[in-house]
Amino acid sequence: MSPLTLDQLRRYALARSLFKPTTLMRAIERVGFVQADPIRAPARAQDLSLRHRVIGYRAGDLERRYPRLPLEEDFFVNYGFLHRTHQALMHPRIAREDWTAARRRQAQAVLAFVAERGSAHPREVDAHFAHGKVVNWFGGSSNASTRLLDDMHYRGLLRVARRHNGTRVYAVRAPLPAPADPDAVAFRMDALLDLLVRTYAPLPEASLRQLMAYLARGVPQWRDARAAALDRARARLDGARIDGVDWLWPAGETPRTRRWRADAAVRLLTPFDPVVWDRRRFELFWGWRYRFEAYTPAPERRLGYYALPLLWGERVIGWGNLAVVGGALSVELGYVEGRPPRDPVFAEGLAQELDRMRLFLGSK
């Protein structure tokens, strides 16, 4: 049998992630984890990811349907959405820093308040307790109540019941049992690692190690169990070495089969799409460096504030910065080769993608 090639692996990566659109719940179960981001450019990352994978998806559908689905918002390797059964594997989560006695009393009072109401918006908590202000991650000022609610959510005391105009509304979460012994911890770590691989495979082994480091956000209490979980994964997963790089993917999947066929569509992908997320893999597959520049000073940006990688068939040939201005879609495109392909098939595919984007956004 001839050696696996990078072209075959790239085709496999695209076809397994950009599968035929299905229902919202089936798409999330198949992807495994959907990363969230609050920036709307032109929509939130979770919506931009799901529009390629869900039949008839419209911006905001996940937020609207979330209360009726077995999903949870939580930290995994980043903040996002995953099935309730997977989210439960990370809890009870023990945060790195312990609360002071005063902070514990505040949390217990808020917990009782939310339980009595059934659910609570951060404004309601702040109006009732007047916790004051704190310095946020960006050096500005935030309500201390919001910070406390975030912390209680992270620790598993609260869950996101729904969102109101994009703001999380919280409810009390029933306590989850801790793993009984080291074997139970190992089982959970293996399941979480398999979820990572399902979402982002095929992965260079170096990227999987990086993801395992990020998993410390989801399970800080089991930091010391990560190395053993990675060792078990190397024995459990399938993989190959291509051009000196060790790759891993789920056991039983065969990248070289004809089942994996990437279509010829033109797609604008979010910076957090599973196809794009691993920048190491991106550069190996497409030969250029993609950067997310929303937090880069404007004069230093090369691609733009929220550049969406532009995929045509099996190639990422450029990027787009999109916005809704006056109800109409504004589009600025850039290309790796400095100009668009001189191919009517591409031009037609791009027009179709922009029409899909307008329908998704409800714009002109």
pLDDT band at 131 (very low <50, low <70, confident <90, very high): low
Which of helix, strand or coil describes residue 91?
A: coil
Domains of the chain: 101-172 (1.10.10), 266-361 (no CATH)
Distance CA 210, CA 293 (A): 21
Higher pLDDT, 299 or 138: 299
Residue 140 above 70 pLDDT?
no
CA separation for the pair 49, 241 (Å, rounded): 29
Q: Whose CA is closest to 33, among 50, 21, 16, 12?
A: 50
Q: What is the mean pLDDT of the chain?
A: 94
For residue range 301-331, list pLDDT tens digits in order: 999 999 999 999 999 999 999 999 999 999 9
Q: Count CA atoms closer than 13 A to 238's CA, side-chain side.
A: 13
**Residue 238: Cβ within 10 Å count:** 15
Q: Which of 347, 360, 361 is nearest to 310 (CA)?
A: 347
Edge-first strand listing for the sheet containing 238-242: 203-204, 245-249, 238-242
pLDDT digits (tens, 9 = 90+) for 202-244: 999 999 999 999 999 999 999 999 999 999 999 999 999 999 9
Question: How far apart, in whole angstroms, are the C-alpha atoms of residue 133 and residue 137?
Answer: 13
pLDDT value of position 14: 97
Lowest-pLDDT range of 7-11, 20-24, 253-257: 253-257
pLDDT digits (tens, 9 = 90+) for 53-111: 999 999 999 999 999 999 999 999 999 999 999 999 999 999 878 899 999 999 999 99
Q: Residue 138: which pLDDT band, with cuts at 50, 70 and 90?
A: very low
Supply the pLDDT for residue 96. 76
Please determine, for residue 139, whether its predicted confidence score (pLDDT) is greater than 60.
Answer: no
Cα 212 to chain center, whole Å? 15
Look at residue 296 in the predicted model and tell me its pLDDT.
95
CB contact at 8 A, 214 and 277: no
Token pair in block for residue 1: 């049998």
Task: Give the largest Cα separation in the chain, rounded.
Answer: 69
The answer, yes or no, to whether residue 142 has pLDDT greater than 60, is no
Is the C-alpha dihedral spanning 259, 77, 144, 108 positive or negative?
positive
pLDDT score recorded for residue 145: 86
How confident is the model at residue 345, as a pLDDT?
96
pTM of the model: 0.93
**pLDDT over 90 at 270, yes or no:** yes
135 falls in which pLDDT band (50, 70, 90)?
very low
Instruction: Give the pLDDT score at 132.
Output: 54
Mean pLDDT computed over 37-65: 97
Q: Which of 76, 6, 1 is nearest to 243 (CA)?
A: 6
- pLDDT score of 336 more than 60: yes
> How far is Cα 132 from Cα 142, in angstroms, rounded to an integer?
9
Over the stretch 340-361, which tens digit does the pLDDT of each residue have? Answer: 999 999 999 999 999 999 999 9
> pLDDT, tens digit, for every residue of 155-182?
999 999 999 989 999 999 999 999 999 9
Least confident of 140-144, 250-254, 269-273, 320-324: 140-144
- Secondary structure class of 218 (helix, strand, coil): coil
